[in-house]
Structure 1
Amino acid sequence: MHRDDGDLASTQQDHWQHTYAAHPGMYGQAPSAAAVHAAAVFHAHGARDVLELGAGHGRDALYFAREGFAVQATDFSDTGLEQLKEAARTQEVAERVTTAVHDVREPLPLPDASVDAIFAHMLLCMALSTKEIHGAVGEVRRVLRPGGVFVYTVRHTGDTHYGDGTAHGDDIYEHGGFAVHFFPRHLVDSLADGWTLDEVHAFEEGELPRRLWRVTQTRPR
């Protein structure tokens, strides 16, 4: 059965709120491998500030702060962001971290060309339509400074769970309560139109394991 897109997004937001409340710090304190890679890329580009989209409870945002970046962390779960802020105080990096509740389907509350680097670990493969994903990446391009770099990760159509569970159309499948938009390669390429596509790296994460792409693209100067 297909759900209305708005209803699916609202259901997913509630699901993440309950998940973070029931499992504080559910992903642990260690950064993802994607964030460690992204920090090295951001340093190499001379970035001073990082915007993380879909920061959750903050394991990667806090890592970026410990690496010396000024970090803006957004998520649509205020529960996750409250956990992030508490952890930032505990780790004594609160002065380098700001947070904002934000739905990635809406415009970013930032000026044009105001951010050096942007990171999104598995945010774009949430319950978003292809049109909404393009809109989100358009906002990323708008707020990035010329020469700014965007690193994101997504589960792709080679993933074990692709085609499994409840189908919602547009390559979105819901499994275990979590809806995922699995990316075909042509979607990655289309999102890089007008950018410099630096890398598409395949990797695995977790016990399943999840199969992902790590994409690095740069806004031309």
Structure 2
Amino acid sequence: MSESEQGLAEGQRAHWQKTYGEHPGMYGEEPSGPAVHAAAVFRAAGAREVLELGAGHGRDALYFAREGFSVMATDFSPVGLEQLREAAVAQNVAGRVTTAVHDVREPLPLPDASVDAVFAHMLLCMALSTQEIHALVAEVRRVLRPGGSFVYTVRHTGDAHYEAGTGHGDDIWEHGGFAVHFFPRGLVDDLAKSWILDEVAACEEGSLPRRLWRVTQTVPR
């Protein structure tokens, strides 16, 4: 990681810590649309264990737990994960939820072929370089069992904030303090090499709206 990338990463970590601290439960209690979709995909595949990357304060991780999955929720914000644990107790699903502070620039703290499914809502499009994104997806493939599903969403280059604000190179643009790596479609296809690419669906979220791709890909058996 270059010095400029390190500085951006540290700045974003501090930004999210501050944001979660000042706005507890900022995304509400209802699950995201992609999480509802992912739960159906995971259930159809017979998954029991879900790893969520970038879980934040946990609206989606808690939804998976309420749906009967065992969930490991990771995030680089201890503040967000503390809010998640408190909510898990309040919702009586604490027995199905574990948390781990983890930066996805580092290898996942799990053995090979140890989880059934992985979910990441707008995590891959954070302030990660293309090289770091490829390394992360390789880690996801490593920890998934054969036949395991990976559902993720990313903001793409058709989004209103693309090329707005401060540019950091590599399609990363910072607007309002949040740095986003906007995905060209070619990057989605590159990340699916050696996978089965099941679906790339366009969707929107929020009032801007944020324009997303929802990607579902599977490890071959």
Query: Counterpart in 2 of 1:79?
Result: 79
Q: In 2, Cα distance between the equivalents of 1:10 and 1:145?
A: 32
The residue correspondences of 1:48-63 to structure 2 (distance < 5 A) are: 48-63=48-63
Q: Which residue of 2 aligns with 1:148?
A: 148
The equivalent residue for 1:209 is: 209
C-alpha separation in 1, matches of 2:94 and 2:123: 23
The letter of the residue matching 2:104 is V
1:1-221 matched pairs, under 5 angstroms: 4-221=4-221
- Secondary structure at the counterpart of residue 56 of structure 1: coil
The whole-number CA distance in structure 1 between the counterparts of 2:107 and 2:146 is 19
Deviation at 1:145, TM superposition (A): 0.1
Deviation at 1:78, TM superposition (A): 0.3
Once residues 34 and 148 of structure 1 are traced to their aligned partners in structure 2, the CA distance between those partners, rounded to angstroms, is 17
| Counterpart amino acid of residue 44 in structure 1 | A
Measure the CA separation in 2 of the matches of 1:203 and 1:195: 22
State the Cα deviation string for residues 21-59 of structure 1 (Å, max 9, x = none): 000000000000000000000000000000000000000
- Partner Cα separation in structure 2 for residue 121 and residue 112 of structure 1: 22
Letter in 2 for 1:195: W
Runs of 4+ in structure 1 over 4 Å off: none
State the identity as a percent.
78
Secondary structure of 2:103's counterpart equals coil
One-letter code of the match for 2:188? V
- How far off its partner does 1:71 sit? 0.1
In 2, Cα distance between the equivalents of 1:26 and 1:213? Answer: 22
State the TM-score, normalized to the length of structure 2. 0.99
Query: What are the ranges of 5 or more consecutive residues in structure 1 without an aligned counterpart?
Result: none
TM-score (norm 1): 0.99
Secondary structure of the equivalent of 1:147?
strand
Structure 1 residue 167, shift from structure 2 partner: 0.2
Between the aligned partners of 2:204 and 2:95, the Cα distance in structure 1 is 33
Amino acid at match of 1:72: M
Offset of 1:203 from its aligned partner?
0.6
Task: Give the counterpart letter for 1:163 in structure 2.
Answer: E
Q: Distance in 1 between matches of 2:8 and 2:119?
A: 24
CA RMSD, aligned part only? 0.9
Aligned-partner Cα distance in 2 for 1:15–1:172: 16
- For 1:204 and 1:86, the matched residues in 2 are separated by 29
**Partner Cα separation in structure 2 for residue 219 and residue 158 of structure 1:** 28
| Counterpart amino acid of residue 13 in structure 1 | R
Q: Distance in 2 between matches of 1:109 and 1:123?
A: 17
Aligned residue pairs total: 220
Instruction: State the shift of 1:74 in Å.
Output: 0.1
User: Structure 2: which 5+ runs fail to align?
Assistant: none
